[in-house]
Amino acid sequence: MIYAYAKLTVTNPSALDEYRPLAGPALARHGGKVEQASGEPVPLDGAPDLPNVAAILSFPDRAHAEAWINDPDLADVHALRRGAGRSDIVLLG
């Protein structure tokens, strides 16, 4: 199992609204899922630049995570997420 940290600073809520129902099935296509998500992340230490949305994603392995982000059939789904605002996803491992 491998995890990814996703953070999104929303500037276009309508794009995020379009993205949300597509996100889970897009992840599942490559064995991924949202382990935890929050619209109100709380800093525990320091003064991080907090996003509007933070999530921990899981995948069976790195190859599945890379297949998800590089899947040409999901390009429109990823474009919706990116169009919702600043979108950063970091693979943890």
Give the per-residue pLDDT at 90.
Answer: 97
Give the per-residue pLDDT at 46.
Answer: 94
For the four alpha carbons of 57, 63, 64 and 66, in that order, the dihedral sign comes to positive
Mention every residue, 6+ apart, whose C-beta is less than 8 A from residue 66.
Answer: none
pLDDT interval class at 93 (50, 70, 90) = confident
pLDDT digits (tens, 9 = 90+) for 18-77: 999 999 999 999 999 999 999 899 999 999 889 999 999 999 999 999 999 999 999 999
Give the per-residue pLDDT at 15.
Answer: 92
DSSP, res 1: -
